Chains A and B, each alone.
Chain A
Amino acid sequence: MSSMMIGAALVAALKRAATVLPDDVVVALKAARQRETSDMGAAQLDAILENVNVAREGAIPMCQDTGIQTFFVKAGVNSPHLKELRSWIETAVIDATAAIPLRPNTVDPFSGKNPGDNSGRFMPFINWELVDGDDVEISVLPKGGGSENMSTLKMLPPGVGLKGIKKAVVEHIVSCQGKPCPPTIVGVGIGGGADIALKLGKKAVLRPIGSHHETPEAAAMEQEMLELVNATGVGPMGVGGATTCLAVHIEYAHRHPASLPLGILVQCWADRRASVRLKADGTAEVIA
């Protein structure tokens, strides 16, 4: 019974993510349109905003690249559902692929074969985090190939300091030009290690636009870096203009004294995400 309920909630969340752009992103896009001084940049933002409306009203995917479905699970250690959760998520992705429909995007790197339902080895990928309590929060981040291809890792010499991080981010975003479909959301992962910096960057992308990092220094750097990347003039879709990025979000971990890992995660304007809360009694609801 509970799996039916959670299954339906997960499919609903996948549909919502694919078809309804979160409010915080829409607000940021509208603000960018207001600010835009380049006619060509403004035309891109108008098309994006109209596209977002068409997708929401018609309940159809806002982009034909419906992405790879990546999950972030905050699992309450006392939840009775942890054992079944993986299979529920895998089933929901297959069901949602047929029902919405989503583009089948998972390809076997060796055979080149596409199973046609977004399943596969380690797919959908699930990131697990244990938290207190008996609720489980399941967030999905469907991410397209064009923006993911622009994500990168830099192992900086620690001596370059925070200035080095800022420069590396600005230079990287400019080198991407229009390819990741700007205005983008940039997740900046600092520290931890090579894999951890990238994971932190992706986690940072999940945060709503307008939120600030809890550490004041990180929050100040987010704001400063947003101003810096937008001063480059790359603009919407790389055609020139005032808004290259809608937000820069930082997440960080302590680092090895010899390492300054920097993960730069680039998310397209179609910053699609949705979450489900699963209660201990098996009821589930789409919460965002």
Chain B
Amino acid sequence: MRRDITLPVTESDAREWRVGDILFLTGTIFTARDEAHLLMMEKQESGEGIPFDPSTMALFHCGPVVSPEGDGWKVIAAGPTTSIRMEIFEDKYLEMFRPPIIIGKGGMADRTQAALESVGAVYTHYTGGAGALAAKRIEAVEGVEWLEELGMPEAAWFFKVADFGPLLVTMDSAGGNLYKDLEPTIAENVKSVLARIDAG
């Protein structure tokens, strides 16, 4: 079902969402790819901490194209990047910062799934390549952290969004996983396709 969501949300809100739900977000989301994940965890562990609260936002796996405009920034294109690269530390990151929603593409694996269940969060798939549409739904760039150190694609950008979606829930906090659900059907289809080739 379609769910129009205004951030921030509570853990119990996020625990209600299931695989197949399509979310449209209004509020603040932040970007983090490989480098920002590592830097944030390092700062948290060293006791320095980070200057914002990820649990009030959604985490967006994205390396945007951003242009300076006046005193601020304008987003040119901001589609999702491949999420599986973050699998090696996403479980630890989720436990540490508890963002209720991950936005990415392509899905993640078992470690992230377990962490989603433990913290009560969902992984959502945003249409790959839809960078212009994403930029249109970003109303403003509210800020950026670690731009100097990490560069444009790896920095943490804060976007004020309205009706940001469609975000398809493909992994939920109750163990639901669209990719795993599809596997047997696709395997069955492939078997019959290969048989057709043999018969032809």
Contacts and interface: CB of A to CB of B under 8 A. Distances in A.
Q: Do A and B bind each other?
A: yes
A154 interface: no
Contacts of A44: 127, 166, 168
A10 to B, nearest CB: 21
Given A64-B63, A178-B105, A239-B168, A58 B129 contact: no
Contacts of B197: 163, 166-167, 170, 228
A63 B77 contact: yes
B146 to A, nearest CB: 18
Q: How many residues of A sit at the interface, in one of the four size bands?
A: 35 or more
A64 B64 contact: yes
Secondary structure type dominating chain B contacts: mixed
B106 A238 contact: yes
Contact of A146 (B76, B82, B125, B179): B82
Interface stretch (A1-9, A49-57, A190-198): A49-57
A48 B127 contact: yes
Given A60-B77, A101-B67, A166-B197, A51 B190 contact: no
A252 interface: no
B189 interface: yes
Contact of B132 (A55, A181, A240): A55
A40 B182 CA distance: 12
Nearest to B128: A181
Interface in B141-200: 153, 165-166, 168, 170, 178-179, 182, 185-186, 189-190, 192-194, 196-198, 200
A43 B129 contact: no
B129 A50 contact: no
A258 to B, nearest CB: 23
A20 B131 CA distance: 13
Interface of B: 20, 22, 62-65, 67, 76-79, 82, 105-107, 125, 127-136, 153, 165-166, 168, 170, 178-179, 182, 185-186, 189-190, 192-194, 196-198, 200
